[in-house]
Amino acid sequence: MRRAARTAAALSFVALVATGTDALAYCRSRTCNPNDLSQHCDMVDNCVTSGYLLYWNTSCMSFDAQQDGSPRRSITADQVTDVVTRSFAPWLGANCGSGQPAITVGTYGPVECDEVENPDPNNPHEYNRNAEKGANVVMFRDDVWPYPGSIDAYGLTTVTFNTGTGEIVDADIEVNSADFNVTLDGPFDATHTDLQSILTHEVGHFLGMAHAATADDTATMRANWDGLGTDLRTLSPDDEAGICNAFPPDRSAPNQCEPLNGFASGCHVAADKIDSGGCSVAVARVRRDSAANGLFAALGLFVALARRRRGRAPRG
């Protein structure tokens, strides 16, 4: 069941689930999947314009580093937590004119789980609000990159959402440390790739941003990157416009940091089980509407940051 989700991730490496506006180069993610021809997605310059916008129904999100970090690249879980925090920073600090995006971020980790989970493993087509606890995990693939359809990908973000509303309910980030020498320290050259740059891009997907319009080759959310330097760490004006559109300063949303069914360090923890792990984020517990129980599809938004190889056409 999880394999089916991962296969979809690989297939959508070229055709991306996205949306945008005619006036700006940023694209926000939508529910319409251009890989499914039966959905008849409308597109403008690489941006899907049909379907519901994806959104977090909260002003607080949590992420957790997988406890192994990346042994192959000598990166610990604590270092992962630090670099992911720094990768969120430009998104949280974007200039919206009247303020900054209405987002806060915290962490419970490190966590044991190293899988991109479907919170209802017995039903891969529905996200059951009462099925399993979980976490939004940042993990490394040291041994092999399991997506043969995206061999140029530095990283991949899997977002699970309600296809009937666009509400995001889970997001996981995988880093391709098997094929790329991702590192925390420079020089960032042809053989050393900046992990913070990769994660700043992937965090954009985590927050509901899609790849920028085709003509925008300077945005952090551009689809192709040569892997050199650290320019993805800094948002372009279009990136800032996109995140301010998704999380305007005056946006009102619950301050719910905890994952939908509750936090768990391990994989496949039933929602009625108590997790004894510590918490390093202040969680404001609010009651969630359960009316949409059973409507959450395992169909995720799967996005990959592609490496542009010399002498080859750009890939999405």
Sign of the dihedral defined by the CA atoms of residues 306, 113, 203, 168, in that order: positive
CATH of the domain at 218: 3.40.390.10
What CA–CA distances, in Å, run from 11 to 210, 217, 305? 16, 23, 14
pLDDT score for 11: 21
316 domain residue, yes or no: no
283 domain residue, yes or no: yes
Say if residues 296 and 286 touch (Cβ distance below 8 Å). Answer: no
pLDDT score for 34: 78
pLDDT in tens, 171-230: 999 999 999 999 999 899 989 999 999 999 999 999 999 999 877 889 999 988 999 999
312 domain residue, yes or no: no
Instruction: Please tell me the least confidently modeled range out of 219-223, 267-271, 279-283.
Output: 279-283
Name the domain count of the chain.
1
285 domain residue, yes or no: yes
Tell me the pLDDT band of 304, cut-offs 50, 70 and 90: very low
233 domain residue, yes or no: yes
C-alpha closest to that of 83 among 173, 200, 201: 200
313 domain residue, yes or no: no
Say if residues 137 and 172 touch (Cβ distance below 8 Å). Answer: yes
Q: Which comes out higher in pLDDT, residue 32 or 277?
A: 32
314 domain residue, yes or no: no
User: Percent of the chain scored above 70 by pLDDT?
Assistant: 74
Alpha helix (H) residue ranges in 63-113? 77-92
315 domain residue, yes or no: no
Residue 294 has pLDDT above 60, yes or no: no
Alpha-carbon distance 108 to 114, whole Å? 15
What CA–CA distances, in Å, run from 169 to 136, 218, 292? 9, 30, 12
pTM over 0.85: no
Q: Which comes out higher in pLDDT, residue 23 or 53?
A: 53
Look up the domain containing 115 and give its range.
Answer: 2-307
Which pair of structure tokens corresponds to residue 149? 């359809």
Which of helix, strand or coil describes residue 49? coil
Tell me the pLDDT band of 93, cut-offs 50, 70 and 90: very high
Length of the chain, please?
A: 316
